[in-house]
Amino acid sequence: MDLSTTYLGLKLPHPFMPGASPLVDKLDVVKRLEDAGAAAIVMHSLFEEQIAREEWATFRHTETHGESFAEALSYFPSPEKFALGPEEYLDHIRRVKSSVGVPVIASLNGTTLGGWLDYSRLMQEAGADALELNVYSLPSNPDETSQNVEDRTVEMLKAVKEAVKIPVAVKLSPFYTALSNFAQRLDEAGADGLVLFNRFYQPDIDPHELTVVRTLALSDSSELPLRLRWLAILAGRTRASLAVSGGVHTSMDAIKTVMAGAHAVQLVSALLQQGPELLVALRREVEEWMEEMEYRSLEQMQGSLGLRSAPDPTVYERANYMLILQSWREQNP
């Protein structure tokens, strides 16, 4: 069965790959992923904000106390190789690149235009085959308009595209007022791929301690429908290829995303739970199902149930909320 797909212009034997996560921090896990047949390796994100903060904090913690007291002009050794900044991440790209044969997609979350540009270039230099721009910001400032938010991202993308030669994907959150339009603008700005969607840490409240705490639960298949909808809406409308991230746990989940239009299927929670070897089973099951259903190739299935070719496209649009609500009432008088 021909499962091949093209994602970010990369010709891949099949669409399954690990999504951005700490999974790939360990080289032996990366090797296992490759052995399990991962079509590509997506690295966890480099966070510009974190780098800047750590650089500054380390500077403060190591320098503030120095040159203050006659007996101790410093409190730390000063190793030559002690490089803060993106070095650790870039080194990891190099190590992953040298240990696997599949494409390596680096992931970046920037906070400044300079950061996006510098780190993109550095990632390319370190050997990344493609970039995933993890556009993550929470516009809590009431003075910031949706237009600002989108314009900034588009400008950033244009600049990065000019700065690097490797393909660039944009990983989005579902929280845009006009996602179709925004996707189109990104497409026009040169995005080689769109990844739907990012998952965020969410706040929770500890009522005993009167504190707000951070949580990040693993995904499950219930998160898939949101992604199916947007894949379907965008399928065939963008030059950029599409990837799904979040909610794919079974081969049937995967098949659905491809039908909705995904060129690449990224998994994180499922791999964390079941190990890299899940990729082998997934691929086999998809293949078996397709054979049973007499598909010729994955391409034939890709986007078949998108907005453009689905038998009842209105289901993807706003009306479906009403329908479900009504059908539920009918069943439960």
Partner 1 sequence: MTSRKITIDGNEAAASTAYRINEVCAIYPITPSSNMGEWADEWAAKGLPNIWGKVPEVVEMQSEGGASGAVHGSLQGGALTTTFTASQGLLLMIPNMYKIAGELTAYCMHVAARTVATHALSIFGDHSDVMACRQTGFALLASGSIQEVHDFAVIGQAASLRSRVPFLHFFDGFRSSHEVVKINELTDDDLRHMMDDALIQEHRKRALTPDRPVLRGTAQNPDTFFQSREACNRFYLECAAHVTEAMERFAQRTGRRYRLFDYVGHPAAERVIVMMGSGAETAHEMIECLAAKGEKVGLVKVRLYRPFSIDSFMAALPATVTGIAVLDRTKEPGAVGEPLYLDVITALREARETGVSPLKKDPRVIGGRYGLSSKEFTPAMTKAVLDELDASKPKNHFTVGIVDDVTHTSLKVDPELDIDADDRVRAVFYGLGSDGTVGANKNSIKIIGEETDNHAQGYFVYDSKKAGAVTISHLRFGPRPIRSTYLIRKATFVACHQFEFLDRFDVLELAVPGAVFLLNAPFPKDKVWDSLPLEVQEQIIAKKIKFYAIDAYSVAKDTGMGTRINTIMQTCFFAISGVLPREEAIAKIKKAIEKTYGKRGQEIVKRNFAAVDTTLDHMHEIKVPAKPTTARRRPPIVADAAPDFTKRVQAVMMVGKGDTLPVSAFPFDGTWPLSTTRWEKRNIALDIPVWDSEVCIQCNQCALVCPHAAIRAKIYDPDLLAQAPATFKSTDYKSLDLKGLKYTIQVAPEDCTGCGVCVHICPAKDKANPKHKAINMAPQRPLRATERENYAFFLGLPDIAREKIKRVDVKGSQFFTPLFEYSGACAGCGETPYVKLLSQLFGDRALIANATGCSSIYGGNLPTTPYCSNRDGRGPAWSNSLFEDNAEFGFGMRLAVDANADQARRLLKALSAKLGGNLIQEILDADQGDEAGIARQRQRVDLLRSDLAKLDLPGARQLESLADYLVRKSVWIVGGDGWAYDIGYGGLDHVLAMGRKVNVLVLDTEVYSNTGGQASKATPMGAAAKFAMAGKDLGKKDLGLLAMSYGNVYVATVAMGAKMNQTVQAFLEADAYPGPSLIIAYCHCIAHGYDLLYGLDQQKRAVESTLWPLYRFDPRRIAAGEPPLKLDSGKGKASVAEYMQNETRFRMVEKINPERFRDLLERAGRLAAQRFAVYQQLAGIKVPRASTGGDAEQPTAPAKD
Amino acid at 227: R
Given the rule CB under 8 A, which residues bind partner 1?
Answer: 26, 51-52, 54-85, 87-88, 91-92, 118, 210-211
- Between 54 and 285, whose beta carbon lies closer to partner 1? 54
CA 267 to chain CA mean position, Å: 10
Cβ-based burial of 111 (10 A; exposed 0-12, middle 13-18, buried ≥19): middle
- Between 104 and 282, whose beta carbon lies closer to partner 1? 104
For residue 91, the minimal CB distance to partner 1 (Å) is 7
- Between 1 and 84, whose beta carbon lies closer to partner 1? 84
Q: Distance between CA atoms of 271 and 258, rounded to whole angstroms?
A: 19
- Between 72 and 217, whose beta carbon lies closer to partner 1? 72
Q: Distance between CA atoms of 155 and 120, rounded to whole angstroms?
A: 14
For residue 144, the minimal CB distance to partner 1 (Å) is 21
- Between 51 and 164, whose beta carbon lies closer to partner 1? 51
Phi-psi region of 85 (alpha: psi -120 to 50; beta: other; left: phi over 0): left
- Between 210 and 322, whose beta carbon lies closer to partner 1? 210
Residues whose CB is less than 8 angstroms from the CB of residue 142 and which lie 6 or more positions away in sequence, other chains included = none
- Between 212 and 293, whose beta carbon lies closer to partner 1? 212
For residue 99, the minimal CB distance to partner 1 (Å) is 12
- Between 51 and 169, whose beta carbon lies closer to partner 1? 51
For residue 53, the minimal CB distance to partner 1 (Å) is 8
For residue 236, the minimal CB distance to partner 1 (Å) is 42
For residue 270, the minimal CB distance to partner 1 (Å) is 24
What residue ranges in the chain does DSSP mark as E strands? 5-7, 10-12, 16-18, 41-47, 104-109, 130-134, 168-172, 193-196, 202-206, 211-215, 241-245, 264-267
- Between 204 and 291, whose beta carbon lies closer to partner 1? 204
For residue 83, the minimal CB distance to partner 1 (Å) is 5
Cβ–Cβ under 8 Å, residues 133 and 157: yes
Cβ–Cβ under 8 Å, residues 138 and 202: no
What interhelical angle do 87-99 and 113-126 show, nearest 10?
30
DSSP assignment of 269-318 equals HHHHHH-TTHHHHHHHHHHHHHHHTT-SBHHHHTTTTSTTT-SSGGGGST
**Which among 62, 195, 163, 47 is positioned nearest to 112, based on CA atoms?**
47
For residue 263, the minimal CB distance to partner 1 (Å) is 33
77, two tokens: 């050794």
For residue 256, the minimal CB distance to partner 1 (Å) is 37
Q: Distance between CA atoms of 171 and 109, rounded to whole angstroms?
A: 10
